[in-house]
Amino acid sequence: MGEVHWRELYREVVDPGLCTGCAACVMACPRDVLGYTHDYYPVQIGEGMGVDECAIGDRGCDICTRACPRFRDWESEFDQELFGREREPDEVYGIARSLLLTRATDKGVERAGQDGGLVSMLLIQGLEEGWIDGALTSRIVEDRGPFDATPTVVTDREGVLATAGSRYTYSANPLAMEEAEQLGLKQLALVGMSCQASINASVQARGVNKYKRKIALTIGLLCSKSFTYEGQQKVLANHGIDIADVVKANIKGKFMVWTRDGDYHEIPLKEFHPYTRPGCQLCPDFAAEHADISTGGIGAEDNRTLAIVRTQRGEEWMKALIDGGYVDATPAENDPVAMDLLVKLSRTSRKRWPTDQLEGTAARPGLLPVVS
Ligand X SMILES: Cc1cc2nc3c(=O)[nH]c(=O)nc-3n(C[C@H](O)[C@H](O)[C@H](O)COP(=O)(O)OP(=O)(O)OC[C@H]3O[C@@H](n4cnc5c(N)ncnc54)[C@H](O)[C@@H]3O)c2cc1C
Nearer to ligand X, 24 or 193 (CB): 193
CB of 80 to ligand X, least distance (A): 27
Backbone angles phi and psi of 162, in degrees to 5: -70, -20
Stretch of 5-13, 51-59, 117-125, 355-363 lying at the interface with ligand X (CB under 6 A): 117-125
CB of 154 to ligand X, least distance (A): 8
> Identity (one letter) of the amino acid at 236?
L
List the beta bridge partners of residue 258: 248, 264
Size of the site for ligand X (CB under 6 A): 34
Residues 178-237 that bind ligand X (CB under 6 A): 191-193, 221-224, 226
Residues 130-159 that bind ligand X (CB under 6 A): 137-138, 149
Nearer to ligand X, 125 or 204 (CB): 125
Stretch of 19-27, 74-82, 114-122, 202-210 lying at the interface with ligand X (CB under 6 A): 114-122
CB of 336 to ligand X, least distance (A): 15
Contacts of 236 (CB under 8 A, 6+ apart): 242, 243, 246, 257, 267
Distance CA 247, CA 219 (A): 24
Distance CA 219, CA 139 (A): 16
CB of 121 to ligand X, least distance (A): 7
CB of 203 to ligand X, least distance (A): 18
> Identity (one letter) of the amino acid at 332?
A
Rounded to 10°, the helix 312-323/118-129 angle is: 90
CB of 52 to ligand X, least distance (A): 28
Integer CA distances (angstroms), 163 to 112, 119, 155, 167, 368, in order = 9, 11, 11, 10, 35
Distance CA 286, CA 220 (A): 10
Figure out which of the listed residues 42, 69, 117, 314 binds ligand X, where binding follows CB under 6 A: 117
Q: What is the DSSP letter of 78?
A: H
Figure out which of the listed residues 163, 218, 233, 294 binds ligand X, where binding follows CB under 6 A: 163
Figure out which of the listed residues 164, 188, 257, 293 binds ligand X, where binding follows CB under 6 A: 164
Does the protein bind ligand X through residue 68 (CB under 6 A)? no
Nearer to ligand X, 85 or 273 (CB): 273
Residues 284-303 that bind ligand X (CB under 6 A): 295-298
Alpha helices (H) along the chain: 6-9, 24-28, 55-58, 63-67, 74-83, 107-112, 118-129, 157-162, 177-182, 194-197, 199-205, 209-214, 229-238, 312-323, 336-350
> What would the x/- binding string for ligand X be over residues 311 to 350, using CB under 6 A?
----------------------------------------
DSSP string, 222-283: --S--B-HHHHHHHHHHTT--GGGEEEEEESSEEEEEETTS-EEEEEGGGTGGGB-GGGTT-
Distance CA 30, CA 234 (A): 39
CB of 8 to ligand X, least distance (A): 28
Does the protein bind ligand X through residue 251 (CB under 6 A)? yes
DSSP string, 310-331: -SHHHHHHHHHHHHTTSEEEEE
CB of 122 to ligand X, least distance (A): 8
Asked if 122 and 315 touch (Cβ cutoff 8 Å), the reply is: no
Does the protein bind ligand X through residue 279 (CB under 6 A)? no
Nearer to ligand X, 29 or 345 (CB): 345
Nearer to ligand X, 96 or 221 (CB): 221
- Rounded to 5°, the CA angle 350-138-257 comes to 75
CB of 83 to ligand X, least distance (A): 22
- Give the binding site for ligand X (CB under 6 A): 113-120, 137-138, 149, 163-169, 171, 173, 191-193, 221-224, 226, 251, 295-298, 305
